[in-house]
Structure formats: C-alpha cells, structure tokens
A and B are shown apart, each in its own frame.
Chain A
Amino acid sequence: MDGGVTYQRFPKLKIREMRDDVVKFELRETDASMANALRRVMIAEVPTVAIDLVEIEVNSTVLNDEFIAHRLGLIPLTSDRAMSMRFSRDCDACDGDGQCEFCSVEFHLRAKCLTDQTLDVTSKDLYSSDHTVVPVDFSDPNEPGEQRGIIIVKLRRGQELRLRAIARKGIGKDHAKWSPAATVTFMYEPMIRINEDLMENLSLEDKRSWVESSPTKVFDIDPVTQQVVVVDPEAYTYDDEVIKKAEAMGKPGLVEIEAKEDSFIFTVESTGAVKASQLVLNAIEILKQKLDAVRLSDDTVEADDQFGELGAHMRGG
C-alpha cells in the first residue's frame, strides 16, 4: 500500500529447556500485549481433538451415563492432525456423525468384569478408528511394564460398559476439554540492583536478616567475602518484602528491583495432545490467522471511499 513504512518489532527468542510436554523460553524485545496474546491463544484457541459425543450401549457401572461421557471428554487425545482438520460445524462433507475423515474420529469401548478382582477401565481400553488420534500415553519409557492409562471407571464382578464415542476438533474457548495447555505462564524478568555502598555498611547479622526477609531464595551471602549476592533473580515473586525490610531497617534504597517490561520468561506445559514446542508454533499460526480475519474487507473500504467523496462534496459545497 504505502511503500516501506513499518513499526514492526523483531523479538528475540531463546529456548532454555525443552521436553515433549514442557518448554521454557525467553521472549525479548516485544511487549506484554504480544506475550499475553500468545498465552491466551495457547490456552483457549489452539485446536485439539476431544470426545464430544457418546452413545452408551450398556452401562451397569456405578457411574451414570453423563458422568462417564464427561470423563471421556476430558481424556487428552493426540491432536497433531487438529490444525489441518475441519470443525464439524463447518464441514460440508458430513453431518459430524463420526464417519467423516475430515472432522471426526470414532472410538469404541467394551469392558466387562468377570472376576472378583476389581477391573480398571482406562483410556487404554478406548479403540480408535484412526491411529493418529489416540489417548495420550503417559507411560514411562524407563518402566515399560507399568501401564498408566487414565482411569475412567472401576468395575466389580458382572458390571459392564459398552459405548461408541465420537471425537471432534474444538478449542478451549468452547470447552476446556479442548485446551492443549496444562499451564501457560510468563513472568517479567526482574532487574535487581543492590546499592553496594549501603550494603557495605550493614553488619553481617543485618545482612543475614535482610537476606532472610525474602520468602523465596533470591539473595545469599558469599561465605568468603561476606557480601550479599543475587543467586536467583527469577525466584523473586515481586512481593516487595526485601524493599519493606530495607525501609524498616532504615536503609531505603538498599535494593532496587524493576520488572523489565520487554523481557518475558515463558513456561508452557502441554496436556500431551500436542508437544509443548508445537503448541507454541500452533499458537503463532492461530494468532496470524486471527489477525488476518480482522482485516478490513474490500466492500468496507469502498463504502468509506464513497462516504469520503460525499463528505468532500458537502464540505466543498
């Protein structure tokens, strides 16, 4: 449109730690609105697949049908395909009945207890029609013998559960069962400056009681030099306790702590529906799509151009 004018930012990013279910990263040189938009999208707008419709054939368990249907909905399913799937409500290939490859996945569960031993019905008893969408496996690769499915219900002798379930694509805004995020948080990186001149004048005992006034272990005393040092700035919870303590000791300004407004430390934990790193990438993609959707349509711009001419006529006479 107009050549080259831009107020774009170029944020810096650094991954600190990464596992399948958790990623921690630093985001710098942007503002809280961007950090918060990413957080909000990860929690409420990145799609996953979850059970949304349950047809109970037999249920002689102690839990009622709707209770079981609710529990099934909350089981995380592997959702790497969700970004490219369709929402059942906009799928034109079907009526969302579970037979459609574009928008739904069918599950079956059959369990009956035939012994005096209590039978656990777990997410491992759910049989999927699609091998890419299955209940998340939490078993520890170091202990292959241990089965760790999510318990749905327990059966005693003679009790039975038989059902068909349909999983659909959805987002956390609709129902929390579709949220791929266990937790997404960010904190401002703290800048902690100790006034060394004031600190020098404190007795060791005063230093110690000041260091201990912080509820989290942010400061410590170097055993050799007996100087107060910052050991873990990120442990600071912006509780102001050390600042109040300094004032109470008659040493205001002993320490200055400010939140760097353009630096954020993110912790992203996934439910297992998608990898935590993929969750971040999907959130960026979804946010881009959202922005694209709020662009002005051509007819709006045209209508305004006409309005502008009309206005010019009226003003110009």
Chain B
Amino acid sequence: MNAPDRYERFVVPEGTKKVSYERDTKIINAASFTVEREDHTIGNILRMQLHRDPNVLFAGYKLPHPLQYKIIVRIHTASQSSPMQAYNQAINDLDKELDHLKNAFEIELAKHSREY
C-alpha cells in the first residue's frame, strides 16, 4: 500500500540535478561528483577509465547505500588537470570506445549474416 514506486530507482525526481559537483575544501584539484539514479554500471566504468588518465592521482566511486539511488565519484588530479576536466575526458573516451565497439560488432554481424 505505502511501498515506494519502483521507478524511484531510475527516474531522477523533478528539481534534482542528475550530476552535482562539490570541490574539496581542503585539497586543491580534488572534488566529488554526486550522480543521481546511477549505480555500479556507470560508477565502475568511470572509475576504471579515470585510472587510465595519468593526471588522475585518485579516482574512486561509492554507492553509499542500496536504498539511496546515487553514486559518489571522487577525483583528485595533478595540477595540470582538474577533476572536471578528467571527468569529461573519461566520459568522452568511454563514448568513443562504445562507438568503436558498435562498429566492430556490426562488421562481425555482417560477416556472420553472409555465412548463413
């Protein structure tokens, strides 16, 4: 009767930002990104992609609680970069990787469709 709606797990409530950004007050070039209604799927690929960036000194994510439908991504970079720059870079690189993957799959698909 009073169960929360299931879509609360993946629909961002009105008036809430999908991604919010908070600088670390003590450490320069460190910040936290709170991403609403995302989980390990996005958290883990972002973290691993950030690790490929040599300017990233630290990158990690956490899912604070299974019933709080958000993740927190924390990034600390060297002075040549910034958390925002690294975050955008990671998303762009992943996006391009997926474009490449889609292409590769379609080429393979065409090969196999011809065989049968």
A-side residues, CB < 8 A to B, are 1-2, 5-15, 18, 25, 30-31, 33-34, 36-37, 40-41, 45, 89, 171, 173-175, 277, 280-281, 284-285, 287-288, 290-297, 300-301, 303-304, 307
Contact = CB atoms under 8 A, between A and B. Distances in A.
B89 A7 contact: yes
Contacts of A33: 44-45, 47-49
Contacts of A14: 108
A12 B104 contact: yes
A283 B55 CA distance: 30
A33 B59 CA distance: 14
Contacts of B23: 304, 307
Interface in B86-116: 87-102, 104-106, 108-109, 111-112, 116
A297 B91 contact: no
Contacts of A301: 84
B94 A291 contact: yes
Contact of A175 (B6, B40, B106): B6
Interface residues of B, number: 51
A10 B97 contact: yes
Contacts of A173: 9-10
Interface string B25-67: 0000000010100101110111111001100000000000000
Given A25-B105, A277-B105, 15 more contacts: A2-B85, A8-B93, A8-B97, A8-B100, A11-B97, A13-B101, A13-B108, A15-B105, A33-B47, A36-B41, A174-B10, A284-B101, A293-B18, A300-B17, A304-B23
B106 A281 contact: yes
Contacts of A12: 104
A10 to B, nearest CB: 5
A36 B46 CA distance: 12
A15 B41 contact: no
A7 B46 CA distance: 12
Given A174-B7, A294-B35, A45 B20 contact: no
Contacts of B78: none
A293 B92 CA distance: 12
B88 A1 contact: yes
A247 to B, nearest CB: 34
B10 A171 contact: yes
Given A2-B85, A290-B38, A7 B95 contact: no
A190 B37 CA distance: 36
Nearest to A14: B108
11 contacts: A1-B88, A5-B89, A8-B96, A8-B100, A30-B101, A31-B48, A174-B10, A277-B109, A291-B91, A296-B33, A304-B84
Contact of B102 (A8, A281, A292, A303): A281
A11 to B, nearest CB: 6
A281 B93 contact: no
A23 B20 CA distance: 39
Contacts of A10: 97, 100
Contacts of B42: 37, 290-291, 294
B26 to A, nearest CB: 12
A171 B9 CA distance: 11
A287 B49 contact: no
Contacts of B40: 36, 40
A8 B52 CA distance: 9
Contacts of B112: 15, 18
B85 A280 contact: no
Nearest to B102: A284
A37 B104 CA distance: 18
B40 to A, nearest CB: 7
A288 B102 CA distance: 10
B98 A291 contact: yes
A196 to B, nearest CB: 36
